[in-house]
Amino acid sequence: MSNTENKSLGKIVNDLTRPLKNHKGFIFWIIFLALVIINGLVAYYGQLKIGLGTTALSDYVSWGLYISSFIFFVATALVGMLISSVLGLLGIKWITPIARIAEMVAIGFVMLAGIVIILDMGRPERLLNVFVHARIQSPIFWDATVVTFYVIISLLLFLLPLIPDIPFLKKTMTDQPKWKQLIYKMLSFGWVGSEEQYKIVKRSMRILAILIIPVALGIHTVTSWLFAMTPRIGWDSTIFGPYYVSGAFVAGSAAVVILMYVIRNTYKIKDYITEMHFDKMAKLLVLVMLVYVYFNINEYIVPAYKMKSGDDAHIFALFAGHFALMFWLVQIGGLLLPTVLFLFKPFRKPLPAMLISIAVVIGAFFKRYIITVPTLVHSNFPADNVPASYTEYWPTFSEWSITFMAIALALLIVTILAKLFPIMPIWEVAHDNGISNHEMNLFIENKQEDNEEVEIP
């Protein structure tokens, strides 16, 4: 850490609650998101009116940009499990300031994953049929179940470590609008900071941290099975589960690095999210990217070596044909090059790490496109006289608008959470700075007395 000195509790509370009151420049970000969302809503109105005819989806390519973004959203959301659960259970200390960021990403993106599926429906009013005529044998059914669980558990994992922070918010946010104070009041659950309460919160967090690991692995394995459970070329793979999960960690970790950078600079909390955190996250990215590279090698080299008929056309389209440019940009620019760059210390500094992570996230998005679309371009069965339009797919402006709306909505959820609640758990940061629970309780009581003194006259 650049600042090894222990901070005082007053400074910590002040530093972490200040960004929740100071909205300088914030309005521009909200206007930007609103414009993207309005543009998407206009496009979606057209899609509701005309149907999926406003998209480039057709008989062959029936899964396009929407489903690609669905996998991307689910993938990115998995980082919540990786950081706050896996690393947390391993007792890794440096995650304290970024665990909540990861959890915010998880909530925002997994919620939108569910919504993107509805956006992909030509007749969304028939959504209920999916459940009325559900087949328990279908991976889709399991996917819907496990996404719901992941949303609930992520919300609880966000809420639990927030409870001990609420008294700090109640005391410091007295000058804020009533509705905000009402939210804080509702979420306090009678927290006074007693030992028994800390015990309950920590035990509950531990239970959920363990529970979310199989649920998160389940969500993305089942998502991969939506593809791998069909005998289609390019999807008919036994490693699709771990391939997706490892790819998810890459997308999510990179997304967290970008958010860390943005929050660190706009919230002016460089003493909390330090260069060390970028260094560690970049190293974590190297690890998960190497695992992903390994799965990519297996996924492409094994069929490419055998060149079974059918596979050959697919592999050719990716390596040297229609999709080659995107394929190599994604594989090299979004995966191999970032891995190599992150091996060198200068690239693990905040700004370069953020820039490289942007490349990784964009690569991760188009990687899902590369998984989804090229398989569908080829007919599932031998076919003659196929119209050329069936085998061509490039998303329409309407599709891009709606997809960007989904991304903007996810970012909006993250933004709202980041503006309502401290970006990192005050109490855990306090613990890391050697401040005891008792000291925190005293601090809260003092503050309260101060406030009362102010209010009496």
Partner 1 sequence: MKNIITSAIFTLLLVSSFGVKAQWEISEEVKNKKAPNEISQELALKGKKLYNQACVSCHGTPTQADGLLPTATDLGSDKYFDRTEGEAYFQITEGMAAMPGFADKFSDEERWNIVHFIRSYNPESTVDISSIKTINYKIDVKLNDSDKSIVATISADSSVTVSGVKMEFFVKRYFGNLPITAPVVTNEEGTVTVAFPNDIPGDAHGDLEIIVKFENSDLHGTAEFRKNVAWGTHTEYVDILSQRTMWGVGSKAPWWIIGIYFGIVIGVTLTILYVVFQLFLLKKVRNK
Which positions lie near partner 1, rule CB under 8 A? Answer: 133-137, 142, 145, 149, 152-153, 156, 159-160, 163, 189-192, 194-197, 200-201, 203-204, 207-208, 211, 215
> For residues 295 and 286, is the Cβ–Cβ distance under 8 A?
no
Task: Report the alpha-carbon distance of residue 76 to residue 108 in Å, rounded.
Answer: 10
Q: Which is nearer to partner 1, 159 or 293 (CB)?
A: 159
Q: Which is nearer to partner 1, 39 or 204 (CB)?
A: 204
At a CB cut-off of 8 Å and minimum separation 6, what does 215 contact?
81, 146, 149, 150, 153
Min. distance of Cβ 147 from partner 1 in angstroms? 13
Min. distance of Cβ 170 from partner 1 in angstroms? 15
Q: Which is nearer to partner 1, 141 or 390 (CB)?
A: 141
Min. distance of Cβ 235 from partner 1 in angstroms? 18
The alpha-carbon radius of gyration of the chain (Å, integer) is 24
For the chain, what's the residue count?
457
Q: Which is nearer to partner 1, 211 or 291 (CB)?
A: 211
**Alpha-helix residue ranges (DSSP H) falling in 343-434:** 350-377, 397-420, 426-432
Q: Which is nearer to partner 1, 200 or 420 (CB)?
A: 200
Q: Which is nearer to partner 1, 150 or 244 (CB)?
A: 150
> For residues 269 and 426, is the Cβ–Cβ distance under 8 A?
no
Min. distance of Cβ 256 from partner 1 in angstroms? 24
Task: Report the alpha-carbon distance of residue 387 to residue 366 in Å, rounded.
Answer: 26
SS3 133: coil
Specify the residue for token string 């991760």. Answer: 364
Min. distance of Cβ 196 from partner 1 in angstroms? 4
Tokens of 443: 């601090």
Min. distance of Cβ 141 from partner 1 in angstroms? 8
Q: How many CB atoms lie within 10 A of CB 133?
A: 7
Specify the residue for token string 């309460």. Answer: 197
